[in-house]
A = this chain, B = another copy of it.
Amino acid sequence: MTQELPPDVIAQLTGLGRAITPDLVQTTWALLTPFHEKVGYTAPKIHRDLKYGDHPRHRLDVHTAGEQATATPAPVFVFVHGGGFVGGDKTQPGSPAYDHIGAWAVRNGWVGVTITYRLAPDHTWPAGAQDVAAAVDWIRENIAGYGGDPARIVVAGHSAGCVHVASYLTGQGGGSLDGVRGAGLLSGFYHIPDEGRGELERTYYADAPSETISTLPGLLETDIPLIFAVADRDPEFSHYQVARLTEAWFARKQSVPQVIWSDGHNHVSQIGSIGVDDLALGAQLARFVERVTEA
């Protein structure tokens, strides 16, 4: 069944505007949580805090159907949270975030993995990409034990998590791309200018030059299928990224990239819409995962 939010709730989310403030984050989740509670936002079995490295934040959760798991290894959907390079977690007490993505993955017949990674300012570029690479290494080695297929992995990230996934895909964090069949790049950025970096970008990238850290050139060359998303009320910088991506993609490929427009949503409710507002992002993303992981 297609999950939808009532139009008045979407209108409220739209009305919160484009600036990512603590108030927007709090109000957005307050609006969404009752709908997640109705649908259910925890998978039947969650294996918590498995370690994929030495740092305390090298942890991931594996979301599965538990006893209902099928005999055929399932596609694996990996989610990398946002938080401006300096915050965020795979789980937030009292919030559906981001167990709801694991639950949604399991409802789609996949294994879900939500990861946490090291943060700036202690850990700067390319630490995020290195951690995504390490998590995918762990998944490739271990996920069969949870019913997942190590040869059918899709990695998605939101906001700063999207930036880390793009950075991983383009080799900035090292590691292997074996088994990665596609990636979802959700409201992040790919071109990081030298001038005009915000405080969070300066914290993570310091003075590393644009040509070293921008992932756009690498994304244009990768063979891994990509799906992008932008929220209706995403900040201008996210929209700028889509404009620039579209221009560069067309110049390189004579086609435009697949960009999902999360209608009516803000930066936070876009990812919060997964599982409760299918048309905003989830249904298109699921179709992409099904297509690229087809056996």
Contact = CB atoms under 8 A, between A and B. Distances in A.
Interface of A: 2, 7, 230, 232, 236, 239-240, 242-243, 246-247, 249-250, 254-256, 258-261, 263-264, 279, 283-284, 287-288, 290-291, 294
A255 B279 contact: no
Contacts of A287: 263, 279
Contacts of A264: 291
B261 A239 contact: no
By Cβ-Cβ distance, the 7 closest A-B pairs, closest first, are: A243-B250, A239-B255, A236-B254, A246-B246, A258-B261, A242-B256, A239-B256
Contacts of A294: 7
A7 B290 contact: yes
A263 B284 contact: yes
B255 A236 contact: yes
Given A242-B256, A260-B261, A263-B287, 8 more contacts: A2-B283, A242-B250, A243-B256, A247-B247, A258-B261, A259-B259, A259-B261, A279-B284
A48 to B, nearest CB: 33
A256 B242 CA distance: 7
A290 B126 CA distance: 44
Q: Which of A2, A250, A290 has the most CB of B within 10 A?
A: A250
Contact of A239 (B7, B239, B250, B288): B250
Nearest to A237: B254
Contacts of A249: 243
Nearest to A294: B7
Nearest to A280: B287
B261 A288 contact: no
A263 B246 contact: no
Given A7-B294, A287-B279, A290-B7, A258 B250 contact: no
